[in-house]
Structure 1
């Protein structure tokens, strides 16, 4: 055998989910059996233990430290009434916690301080092991004080308390992905149509937009600010393509602050007989698939990776409950660009 032979790849550790599936029980039942907890027959408990031994399952030490609290639950608080951001985030949280046999309970607090406090008190009464706070925007705090609870709290996609741990998407990095992609495609006159000035992300993305254009030596136009709606996207096209507005040349690309604006932009361009992407490329933000994939042509969009963000928040909560310290502050997670047909191909095809 040659001395430079590659080593065999390491085996992936067996998860609690695999033990539960092989034993024909739920993840929670498997977890309780292996931790000497819960009410079940001796035969069931022994079958689960034998299955774990046969598969070579080794319990995660952080998960065990969490399970010793015996509630097997985590609370997820949100004021995102429609679930646009909280549901994909919750999916990631659940994925991070399921192998510890922990369930996630979602409570919608809307923007009601009294309702939020009632939900928090109910969670404490149920002895949840921790709380993840999330919302519909990253620059607003939920209408409840979570700073002095006796359990760990993680913030994800909402403004954290001072000295707390928070996770949010890198909006400026996401904007860079979009504008740099347009530059690679050979677009020279890139406009930016976005949401209200009261949102912090509007300014973060606009700053990144200006920086990328300046780096490429391209003309920088002031972003058009309006509502997060298709109607505003439709109206903005009139402002961009009206010759009386004093623009020497119309844009050949439009970077939009969300997918609804982008859809309005594309509809308005079609009504004017302007081809997308042949004449004008369009990129949105959020990658709301129900909108992006149904747009004609399908919409290229920046995805904030909310499921991954939720998973990181869940793992951070496991770590805190397990007794590990975490430095306070906000962790920014990268976005990704999902390329579809609305932005066109590079000049070389």
Structure 2
């Protein structure tokens, strides 16, 4: 029966059918790979509730296309893909379609995609990237929100991971386990994430009365560098002068665990090791599995979409928040590289 007092929304249909809004949208638009029974259940719920989807008429009346552009500069997708998935999920709830474009760090390609998105009359654009390094803003006649890679313009809306908070979680975890002497392996020193994570580590260790052993080591975000750096920290010293090793990525941490084991050290009994990113390919391949920090990239993408929707239609009362940079809280995932099974 049609709900009184307001029009039936896609989320109402999804709730009645016991599926997610994105699944309901796919069922009603003959998209995706759904079981016939699921598709039929959604359609039956829509008919029962009196749901009517007329995107064309609605777009004309509201002067909107209900299309949002997702522009990524990432040529790999390791970090930008979860961000875009989170954004797309949030937009689907609002019955908004997405157009995805990849610039691949090519300014000419990026300008081409921007012209195309504007020509398609998108309601807004979410820009994401490969790192948290700030990027130059884009200039288009529609609202823009930057996700993961912030804009250099402080007046723009940027949604980024709170790396400093993630490192503080790592230090609190190690302190609770009794560690006091910590070493660090970082990635490329010219990148924002390396600088932020090291600065947060130094500050958190000092506040906790813990010691950073030796000079921080920087190199590539790679397993070969992780192995080499762990070897430099050890220098055949037994026992090593530290009891915990904080690595700025899961790749570095996984390789460091291997190098420690080859030196006859047990992880975490002799040295606890932490990573960063919660990249399953890495943490699951480590022996033992890595304790790490999850940047909650899908939630970050979702938040970026919410901020964009608030800019597109502020009269709806969406949570717009202040302009500038918004930080999304991470979470610590404790596993065997810091907590022994026995």
1:263 and 2:260 are equivalent in the alignment: no
Q: How does 1:204-215 map to 2 (within 5 A)?
A: 204-215=196-207
Give per-residue Cα distances to partners, 1:82-141, cap 9 Å, x unaligned.
111111111111121112111222211011111001111111111111100000112231
Give per-residue Cα distances to partners, 1:245-267, cap 9 Å, x unaligned.
xx995221101010000011011
- Among 317, 322, 332, which residue is 1:337 paired with? 332
SS of match in other structure, 1:276: coil
The aligned residue for residue 230 of structure 2 is 237
1:188 and 2:180 are equivalent in the alignment: yes
1:77 and 2:71 are equivalent in the alignment: yes
Report the alpha carbon displacement of residue 26 of structure 1 after superposing the two structures with TM: 5.3
Distance 1:66 1:243 in 2: 72
Report the alpha carbon displacement of residue 68 of structure 1 after superposing the two structures with TM: 3.1
**Compared with structure 1, are the counterparts of its residues 234 and 28 closer, same or farther at alpha carbon in structure 2 (3 Å cutoff)?**
closer
Q: How does 1:122-161 map to 2 (within 5 A)?
A: 122-141=116-135, 146-147=138-139, 149-161=140-152
Q: Which runs of 5+ in 2 are unaligned?
A: 1-7, 30-42
**Compared with structure 1, are the counterparts of its residues 293 and 29 closer, same or farther at alpha carbon in structure 2 (3 Å cutoff)?**
closer
**TM-score with structure 1 setting the length:** 0.80
**Compared with structure 1, are the counterparts of its residues 130 and 66 closer, same or farther at alpha carbon in structure 2 (3 Å cutoff)?**
farther
1:228 and 2:221 are equivalent in the alignment: yes
**Compared with structure 1, are the counterparts of its residues 269 and 97 closer, same or farther at alpha carbon in structure 2 (3 Å cutoff)?**
same
Report the alpha carbon displacement of residue 340 of structure 1 after superposing the two structures with TM: 1.1
SS of match in other structure, 1:197: coil
Q: Which runs of 5+ in 1 are unaligned?
A: 1-13, 32-45
**Compared with structure 1, are the counterparts of its residues 266 and 48 closer, same or farther at alpha carbon in structure 2 (3 Å cutoff)?**
closer
1:313 and 2:304 are equivalent in the alignment: yes
- Among 148, 169, 176, which residue is 2:161 paired with? 169
Give per-residue Cα distances to partners, 1:2-41, cap 9 Å, x unaligned.
xxxxxxxxxxxx861451684999527969xxxxxxxxxx
TM-align CA RMSD: 3.1
SS of match in other structure, 1:224: coil
**Compared with structure 1, are the counterparts of its residues 299 and 15 closer, same or farther at alpha carbon in structure 2 (3 Å cutoff)?**
farther
8 Å CA contact 1:165, 1:326 repeated in 2:
no
- Among 24, 27, 32, which residue is 2:25 paired with? 27
Distance 1:23 1:66 in 2: 31
8 Å CA contact 2:223, 2:251 repeated in 1:
yes
1:103 and 2:101 are equivalent in the alignment: no
Give per-residue Cα distances to partners, 1:235-280, cap 9 Å, x unaligned.
1111111158xx9952211010100000110111111111111111
Report the alpha carbon displacement of residue 220 of structure 1 after superposing the two structures with TM: 2.4
SS of match in other structure, 2:212: coil
SS of match in other structure, 2:337: helix
**TM-score with structure 2 setting the length:** 0.81
SS of match in other structure, 1:254: strand
